[in-house]
Amino acid sequence: MRGKGNKRVTSVEVAAAAGVSQATVARTFSSPHKVADTSRAKVHEAASALGYVPNAIARSLKSQRTNIVGAVVPARGEYWQHLIAEISQQLAEQGSQMLLFTFAKPSEVASVVQSLRQYRVDGVLLASSFIDHDSIVDVAGLGIPAVAFNHPEALDVTASVSVDNVAGAAALADHLIETDHQTVAFVGGDPDTGSDRLRYRGASNRLREHGIVCPYIPAGGFDYDSGYAIAESLLRHFGGGDGLPDALMIAGDELAFGVMDGLSKLGVSVPNDVSVTGFDGLPQASWAGFDLTTLVQPAEELIREALGQLTSTPSTIESHTTVPGFVRVGQSTRRQACAEEGKA
């Protein structure tokens, strides 16, 4: 029995209709247990008859809490899109809303931060390594809780939550070693990002322990096109398909999709000619066309952790959490040892 397009019904009107004070109406909706059953019933009746819904704006102004969390994520990238839904769902569970900001260029972040300040959000989730350090510092100085998501770089100014990039890459390396791969190259997205560096470090260190030297090859980005484009360079670099290493470790799943498609177009077969690993654990990685061996980032856990930091943190405590991922084995890496001819 909700009022039609009736503009704005306020608690005062409900109070009048219910024959109680405005304060009682307010209490009925904010702390119901402080109101007698009888009045609560009257209020609810009047409220629904009038189509009343409490005004969260007014509530926020008074209580200094908006129940809104700002999320700042890159506009492009399969990985980030994948996360947004999860963030939104978890926020909904805890009765919060998400104000979403996407940026195409790092330079846009500054203006986003302005909006964030204006809206007095309860916290900010900074989801990207592409956010420059200055902006992070900016946000950190805002006095609102912030957590850098998968941005291991931001360690010193704000809390952060990341997958364990080093251990994850090492785990992938282990898998390659166990399946008898002798030569491995790492294809990075952007060496200026922490994820890239840490993943390479984790992989190359572990491989070195097994006597394998792993070169780093920059693709110039984490996107599909960068991967597709680098495939040809790889072939040239290694002197054709026969010169390719046994395995390519790619810094991110989307990048890996591009590399796989690029290689395939050039007649290189995965995993027959070369094994490929990704990193992220995107849903698409499980698609039959790719079936990529990858390190799955436990999105739900990561975000739960991040949101926990946001809400539980009294001030800007610099807590740095690292969550382990796990390897999901697909068909993009060959499963069993097989003799390789003409290689070290």
Partner DNA sequence: GTGAAAGCGCTAACAA
Partner DNA sequence: TTGTTAGCGCTTTCAC
Q: Which residues bind its own copies (CB under 8 A)?
A: 2, 4-8, 53-58, 60-61, 64, 66, 68, 75-76, 81-82, 84-85, 88-89, 92, 97-102, 104, 108, 111-112, 114-115, 117-120, 141-143, 224, 228, 257-258, 260-262, 264-265, 283-284, 287-290, 315-316
Q: Minimum CB separation from DNA for residue 17, in Å?
A: 13
Residue 269 contact, options its own copies, DNA, none, Cβ 5-8 Å cut-off depending on partner type: none
Residue 319 binds which entry of DNA, its own copies, none, with Cβ cut-offs from 5 to 8 Å by kind? Answer: none
130 binds, among its own copies, DNA, none (CB under 5 to 8 A by kind): none
Measured CA distances, 131 to 59, 136, 172, 328 (Å): 32, 7, 27, 29
* Residue 92 contact partner, candidates DNA, its own copies, none, CB within 5 to 8 A by sort of partner: its own copies
Q: What angle in degrees, to the nearest 10, is found between the helix axes of 78-93 and 299-312?
A: 50
Strand order in the sheet with 247-250: 216-218, 184-188, 247-250, 275-277
Q: Closest distance between DNA and the C-beta of residue 111, in Å? A: 18
Q: In the 8-state DSSP scheme, what is residue 104?
A: S
Which partner in its own copies, DNA, none is near 22 (CB below 5 to 8 A by kind)?
DNA
Q: Which residues contact 64 (CB under 8 A, 6 or more apart)?
A: 120
What gap in Å lies between CA 339 and CA 24, rounded to an integer?
80
Secondary structure (3-state) at 281: coil
CB environment 86-108: b (16+ within 10 A), e (fewer)? ebbebbeeeebebbebbbeeeeb
Residues that bind DNA (CB under 7 A): 8, 10-12, 20-24, 26-27, 29-31, 34-36, 38-40, 52, 54-55, 58-59, 61-64
3-state SS assignment for residue 118: helix
Nearer to DNA, 47 or 177 (CB): 47
Nearer to DNA among residue 38 and residue 272 (C-beta): 38
